[in-house]
């Protein structure tokens, strides 16, 4: 569901979430890298991997027991594989390696290139480690479009902690409302909007809004409408 209205005004920069927003986190499994012979098992593996990955970030932040996102991604994969009865070290290694080279969604490159060409400062604000972010952006050939690549590792907590969202205004030298924060994750959008960003939800799955504080300025079905929303079409 898209609720895009008039273009947002006063936006001076744009920050993007990475996983699930610019890059397809389900690609390592949906591309049939694994061969278990059962699409239902493959989907369960991918869905559980992603769900546990996010749950572990939230729980570790609340517990005050931080480890980096690469470690969490591996721990979540271990749980997901066990949940579907898979015990294969070679497969695990391949899936982890694939996470460093996730494919961008079809609308990612055209939108990033259009905004960059229009002079909009672009940045990344992600749970990913600097190494993970460098790898996935380089593989997609998008590194040069982002002036800031901000990782939660500098504060030792994961989104939606406020200290994570504070990295953007500090790095860009702008007020939060002057920055469009773009994410496909509803909980991330709630956190960013509550912090003060002009949040734009890329609601690829046409999901209902979470019952959390913080509402987006706009809801789009994909990235392709973003340049027009930011007045850069």
Q: Are 52 and 119 within one domain?
A: no
185/218 same-domain check: yes
Does residue 141 sit in the same domain as residue 203?
A: yes
Note whether residue 69 is domain-resident. yes
Do 224 and 218 meet the contact criterion of CB atoms below 8 Å apart?
Answer: no
Is residue 59 pLDDT above 90, yes or no? yes
pLDDT, one tens digit per residue, over 131-186 is 999 999 999 999 999 999 999 999 999 999 999 999 999 999 999 999 999 999 99
17 is catalytic: yes
Q: Given this model, what pLDDT does residue 35 score? A: 60
Question: Tens digits of per-residue pLDDT, 13-34?
Answer: 999 999 999 999 999 887 655 5
Please identify which of the residues 17, 24, 68, 188 carries the catalytic annotation. 17
Of 41, 73, 100, the residue that ends a domain is 100
> For residue range 184-204, what is the model confidence (pLDDT) as tens digits?
999 999 999 999 999 999 999
Domain boundary among 46, 71, 100: 100
Question: Same domain, yes or no, for 62 and 157?
Answer: no
- Looking up residue 162, the CATH number of its domain turns out to be 3.40.50.1000
Q: Give the residue numbers spanning the domain of 197.
A: 13-24+102-229
Sheet containing 13-16: give its strands across.
148-151, 122-126, 13-16, 179-183, 198-202, 218-220
Q: What CA–CA distances, in Å, run from 115 to 8, 75, 122, 136, 153?
A: 14, 36, 8, 20, 27
Residues 62 and 164 in one domain: no
CB 176 within 8 A of CB 165: yes
């Amino acid at each position: 569901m898209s609720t895009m209205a008039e273009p947002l005004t006063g936006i001076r920069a744009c920050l993007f979430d990475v996983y699930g927003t610019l890059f397809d986190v389900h690609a390592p499994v949906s591309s049939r890298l694994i061969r278990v012979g059962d699409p239902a098992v493959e989907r369960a593996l991918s869905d559980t991997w992603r769900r546990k990955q996010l749950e572990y970030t939230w729980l570790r932040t609340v517990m005050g027991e931080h480890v980096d996102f690469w470690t969490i991604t591996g721990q979540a994969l271990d749980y997901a594989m066990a949940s579907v009865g898979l015990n294969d070290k070679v497969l695990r290694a391949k899936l982890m390696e694939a996470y460093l080279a996730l494919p961008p969604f079809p609308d990612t490159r055209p939108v990033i290139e259009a905004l960059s060409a229009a002079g909009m400062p672009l940045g990344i604000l992600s749970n990913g480690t600097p190494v993970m972010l460098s790898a996935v952006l380089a593989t997609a050939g998008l590194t040069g479009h982002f002036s800031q690549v901000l990782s939660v590792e500098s504060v030792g907590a994961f989104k939606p902690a406020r200290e994570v969202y504070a990295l953007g205004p500090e790095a860009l030298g702008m007020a939060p409302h002057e920055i469009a924060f773009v994410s496909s994750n509803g909980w991330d959008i709630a956190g960013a909007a509550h912090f003060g960003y002009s949040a734009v939800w890329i609601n690829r799955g046409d999901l209902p809004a979470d019952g959390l504080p913080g509402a987006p300025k706009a809801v789009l079905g994909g990235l392709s409408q973003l340049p027009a929303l930011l007045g850069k079409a």
